[in-house]
Amino acid sequence: MSDSFNLEIVNPEKLFLSLDNVSEVVVPAFEGDMGILKDHISIISFLKPGIVKVFKGNEVKELYVEDGIIEFSENSLSILTSRIIDIKEIKKDDLSSMINEANEVLKDENLDDQKRFIANQKIDVLNRLN
């Protein structure tokens, strides 16, 4: 396939996912969702909590990420994230405990704007999944 590129998702524990021939990846970049196709310009950006969509052939894979950095160069995309879960494998209990976690963070009154934004975003996404 000529319109495809490689994707690697790593978390601190292991190489989470490595795929060839991916046609498109949509990532929740900090300043808005970003779709990446082959021959995208080399870019480094970071993510906010959200859903990564991976298009490969006719399949679409959806993954929840909490934060991360993406790097795209020479038709290979790396996503580094500290927490990533396949949406199909996500459990209701985990969701609610993650929402509680984020709510806990929001209780802190000295929170700076960026952290508050991230926590709100997280609750938003998680509620949509719930």
Footprint on this chain of other proteins (rule: CB under 8 A) = 8, 10-15, 29-31, 34, 41-46, 67, 69, 71, 73, 78, 80, 82
In the complex, least distance from residue 74 CB atom to other proteins, rounded to whole angstroms: 8
Q: Are 21 and 32 in contact (CB under 8 A)?
A: no
In the complex, least distance from residue 11 CB atom to other proteins, rounded to whole angstroms: 7
Q: Pick between residue 30 and residue 55 the one whose CB is nearest to other proteins.
A: 30
Q: Pick between residue 32 and residue 59 the one whose CB is nearest to other proteins.
A: 32
Residue 74 CB-density burial (10 A; 0-12 exposed, 13-18 middle, 19+ buried): exposed
> Hey, what are 113's tokens?
């704007």
Relative orientation angle of helices 113-129 and 92-107, to the nearest 10 degrees: 160
In the complex, least distance from residue 49 CB atom to other proteins, rounded to whole angstroms: 13
